[in-house]
Amino acid sequence: MRFLDSHCHLTAAAFEEDLAGIVERARRASVRRMVTIASNARDSLGALDLARRHDGIWCTAGVHPHDAGTGVDAAVIAVLRETAEHARCVAIGETGLDYHYENVPRELQRSSFDQHVELAGELGLPLVVHSRGAEDDVAGVVRECAGRVRGVLHCFGGPARLLDDALAAGWFVSFTGIASFPRFDEAVVRAVPSDRYMIETDSPYLAPVPKRGRRNEPSFVVHVAAAVARIRGETLEQVARDSWANGERFFGLAEASAAP
Tens-digit pLDDT profile for residues 140-192 = 999 999 999 999 999 999 999 999 999 999 999 999 999 999 999 999 999 99
Q: How many CB atoms lie within 10 A of CB 187?
A: 12
Distance CA 198, CA 182 (A): 20
Which of the four pLDDT bands, split at 50, 70 and 90, describes residue 210? very high
Q: Please work out, in degrees rounded to the nearest 5, the angle formed at the alpha carbon of residue 232 by the alpha carbons of 172 and 246.
A: 30
pTM of the model: 0.96
Which residues are bridge partners to 57 per DSSP? Answer: 34
CA 18 to chain centre: 22
Q: Please work out, in degrees rounded to the nearest 5, the angle formed at the alpha carbon of residue 106 by the alpha carbons of 105 and 112.
A: 100
172-186 burial string, b = 16+ CB within 10 Å, else e? Answer: bbbbbbbbbeeebee
| Model confidence at 251: pLDDT above 80 | yes
Residue-level pLDDT at 258: 55
pLDDT > 90 fraction of the chain, expressed in percent and rounded: 95
Tens-digit pLDDT profile for residues 8-38 = 999 999 999 999 999 999 999 999 999 999 9
Instruction: Mention every residue, 6+ apart, whose C-beta is less than 8 A from residue 57.
Output: 10, 23, 33, 34, 35, 36, 50, 51, 88
Residue-level pLDDT at 254: 77
Q: 29 and 222 in contact (C-beta within 8 Å)?
A: yes
Residue-level pLDDT at 70: 82
Residue-level pLDDT at 46: 98
Tens-digit pLDDT profile for residues 192-207 = 999 999 999 999 999 9
Structural domain boundaries in the chain: 3-258
| Model confidence at 125: pLDDT above 80 | yes
Residue-level pLDDT at 257: 61
Distance CA 30, CA 236 (A): 13
Distance CA 130, CA 49 (A): 23
Q: Domain spanning 3-258 has what CATH number?
A: 3.20.20.140
User: What does each C-alpha distance from 250 to 28, 72, 90, 109, 140 come to in angstroms?
Assistant: 25, 26, 9, 25, 21
| Model confidence at 79: pLDDT above 90 | yes
